[in-house]
Amino acid sequence: MHFLWPQNLWLMLVLPLLPALYLWLLRRPGKAALRVSSVSIARRALGRLWRRHVPAGIFWLALFVLLLALARPTARVTLPWSSSTILLAIDASLSMRVRDVTPTRMVAAQEAAKTFLNELPPNIQVGIVTFAGSAQVAQQTTIDRPSLIGAIDAIQMQIGTAVGSAIVVCLAELFPDHGIDLGEMTFGSRRKARSWDERENARPKAITPVAPGSYESAAIILLSDGRRTTGVDTLQAAKMAADRGIRIYVVGLGTTDGHLSAGEGMAIYLQLDEPTLREVARMTGGEYYHAGTAEELRSVYRNLGSQLQTRTRETELTALLALVAAALLVAGSSLSVLWFSRIA
């Protein structure tokens, strides 16, 4: 726990003085003792003496909580995630047909993605981006789960692996007003706009970089089984995401050494580029996961589904402590009125 105004903690020095003051007040000379007609009445009265101290103890505890609140404490608290949009970027390169993950990498990825969708709260929007030699939106963000599942089932594999382009397409979906143009980034000046308006709209919007992972309204989950062979540089795209505060959770699927019987010269294209994928996750404040089997992949997606529904963040507890103090004051006052017909 940390305090935004730690200097206010000095006020707590008054707390040890209050019990001493309370005891002094109790020992002051009072009215003459009352005579009682029986010993049993006296015993019942003595048995209830503890009640007179309970309200005072509760008031002291309420003051302690209030003084603690004045120091504005903060702590890391797990809260429901405020995110409303998740983009699934799924590798659709030809290497996804390899059977080292049963029954194939693609089928395992599709089944895990559908399980992930079923476990998400229904109010979270999800979009599907597929990438091979190019990247495209297979399903725009929606809460319609059947449409998303249909888009996942319809994925067609192609040649190439444009990991960076997939990230750029995701960012263009999340920030349509930022002028992110994948074609311009890929082909540069060779891609001529048809009009002045189109040229103006193609210019990327100047943004002020924010802290990586600070954008709480969206996240990207990127699944790949290889390394970039074409398209935008992967780390350049990751930098764009980091500057916008978007977290990228990366899932590496399949072998990391490339030694599979896929024909001469194919090993490097089957090799998972873990260093780059780990760096994408690190740069954006996300996490990297490796899945070598279908069960591991399902486990990764289940963990992501749970993780993306909550967020542990530094939260100020002042309001909560003030509410607790108010509840204690009400409880102490109620007991005092109930037992003594006055607020002691």
Task: For helices 145-153 and 105-119, give the axis angle rounded to 10 degrees.
Answer: 180
Query: How far, CA to CA in Å, does 110 sit from each of 117, 149, 297, 298, 318?
Result: 11, 9, 10, 10, 45
CA distance 295 to 298: 5
Beta-carbon contacts of residue 113 (< 8 Å; ≥ 6 apart):
88, 90, 152, 223, 301
Domain with CATH 3.40.50.410 in the chain: 82-188+197-308
CA distance 135 to 91: 9
CA distance 98 to 113: 18
Q: Which of 207, 195, 214 is nearest to 284 (CA)?
A: 214
Per-residue tens of pLDDT for the chain, all 344 residues:
778 888 888 888 888 888 878 777 777 765 545 555 555 544 554 445 667 778 888 888 888 888 888 888 887 765 555 557 899 999 999 989 888 888 999 999 999 999 889 888 888 899 999 999 999 999 999 999 999 999 999 999 999 999 999 999 999 999 999 989 888 887 765 555 555 455 545 556 678 999 998 888 889 999 998 889 999 999 999 999 999 999 999 999 877 665 554 444 555 456 788 999 999 999 999 999 998 888 888 888 877 876 665 556 667 888 888 899 888 888 888 887 777 676 65
Q: In what order do the strands lie in the sheet with 247-253?
A: 135-142, 125-131, 85-91, 218-224, 247-253, 288-291
Q: Is 124 exposed, middle or buried (0-12, 13-18, 19+ CB in 10 A)?
A: middle
pLDDT digits (tens, 9 = 90+) for 245-289: 999 999 998 776 655 544 445 554 567 889 999 999 999 999 999
Q: What is the architecture, at CATH level 2, of domain 82-188+197-308? A: 3-Layer(aba) Sandwich (3.40)
Q: What is the pLDDT of residue 269?
A: 52
Structure tokens at 32: 């003459």
Query: How far, CA to CA in Å, does 235 sit from each of 67, 169, 255?
Result: 49, 14, 22
**Are the C-beta atoms of 250 and 265 separated by less than 8 Å?**
no
Torsion of CA 277, 212, 205, 188, to 10 degrees: -20
